[in-house]
Amino acid sequence: MNGVLDGLRVIDLGRYVAGPYCATLLGYLGAEVIRVERPAGGEDRYIAPLDELDAGGVMMQTGCNKKSLTLNLRHPDSREILDRLVTSADIVVANLPPAALAKLGLDYERISGLNPRIILTTLTAFGQSGPWAERGGFDGVGQAMSGAMYMTGTPGRPVKAAAPYVDYSTATLATVGTLAAVIERETSGRGQHVEGSLLGTALAVFNSHLAEEGALGLGREPTGNRVQTSAPSDVFATRDGHVLIHVIGNAIFGRLAELIGADDWRDDPGLTTDQARGDRRDELCDRVAAWCETRTTDDAIEAFAEAGIPAGPVLSLDGALQHPQAAALGILQSVKYPGRETAVPVVDLPVTLSRTPGGIRTPPPVTSADTDAVLEDLGYTTEAISALHADGVV
């Protein structure tokens, strides 16, 4: 399987999600990705554990197509190995604060001296400067500090989204920046430093709400699933579950009114814009709730579909895996991890390229599966590799 990034080498020093998934996306597009982790295996290997294996759910999603090189970064002899990796590579991905990066000798000023073509992609919690630059953080911190968690909840009860969208969005944006740097390097011959941050991503994703607040100072209070800028947009209970609909624009609103028999809505001069309807969301949503509660989820979804109203069922985890539309997308791949008899569903590259599709080629590597082969490729002899093992460097 050919990929658009065939021939590029990526050194993945990321942990958890944002850094590793950025490297994963590059690997799905054809790059060779070498994951550098501590000898016992990176701590992110064991999140959402699967049986007794050294790969959990997070590793299954972020580890495909990668090689595993174990390296004790606290050992002084690890510096030479890192330098050889940097010299051999096109891209280094790391989600470390600036001071930690410099301590490892992986700051851009230093590694660009070793390899002027190197692209360093760093992902941090709060960016490279400012009073919080050296602090660590996870996805939820970005959700909390962007206003999203506040607005997702209800008054006095902020709610974090279960999906770590800040992590994955940061990874995706960092991948875009990295690809832009690769393209620019074709002209200049030089690499550059690509920076992303969880907080920056979280603010970008929630920017429309922040823009409104900054411009108008409305001080909106949270309303849970019930949207404030259009209506009726909410989660509604059915006889056997829940459905979500999102109504935006006069055309969809008119079709919904006809579907549920709310002819008075179309004649109401106070319901002619999205915001006007958002201001009266409670009365509108209550009408839809009464319509939904007498129907099954399937009946409601089919009625909404026939009327041209965007809607979807609220699915369980198993329901999401089993839904026929998920199968039709063809992106849920069955990946077998070494030592596990049954396969694990892993989402492949979630975009398609017609000529160079890319995607999953190999399962995540067992810890240290490729250490000796990578070291040999870097020029180490068999005797030198044995000594590195004996000294606890790898």
* Residue from 389, 347, 367, 311 nearest 57 by CA: 347
Give the per-residue pLDDT at 374: 98
> Residue 84 and residue 379: Cα distance in Å, rounded?
9
> Residue 16 and residue 4: Cα distance in Å, rounded?
26
Handedness of CA 193, 194, 196, 200 (dihedral sign): positive
In the chain, where the domains are located: 9-205+327-390, 242-313
Give the per-residue pLDDT at 381: 97
Please identify every stretch of the chain with a pLDDT value under 50, giving residue numbers as ranges.
Answer: none
> Residue 21 and residue 26: Cα distance in Å, rounded?
9
Give the per-residue pLDDT at 178: 98
Q: How many CA atoms are closer than 13 Å to the CA of 72, on its beta-carbon side?
A: 13
Handedness of CA 204, 17, 62, 190 (dihedral sign): positive
Q: What does the block give as tokens for 314?
A: 């609220």
> Residue 214 and residue 226: Cα distance in Å, rounded?
22
Task: Please give the backbone phi and psi of residue 102, each rounded to the nearest 5 degrees, phi first.
Answer: -65, -35
Give the per-residue pLDDT at 280: 97
At residue 14, the 3 state secondary structure works out as coil
> Residue 283 and residue 99: Cα distance in Å, rounded?
54
Give the per-residue pLDDT at 1: 55
Give the per-residue pLDDT at 33: 98
Query: Which long-range contacts link 319-327 to residues 24+ away (Cβ below 8 Å)?
Result: 321/345
Looking at domain 242-313, its CATH class is: alpha beta
- pTM for this one? 0.95
Residue carrying the six token digits 């080629």: 361
Give the per-residue pLDDT at 96: 85
Looking at domain 9-205+327-390, its CATH class is: alpha beta
- From residue 288, alpha-carbon distances to 231, 269, 309, 378 in Å are 10, 20, 13, 64
Give the per-residue pLDDT at 56: 92
CB 139 within 8 A of CB 197: no
Please check whether the two domains, 9-205+327-390 and 242-313, share a CATH topology.
no
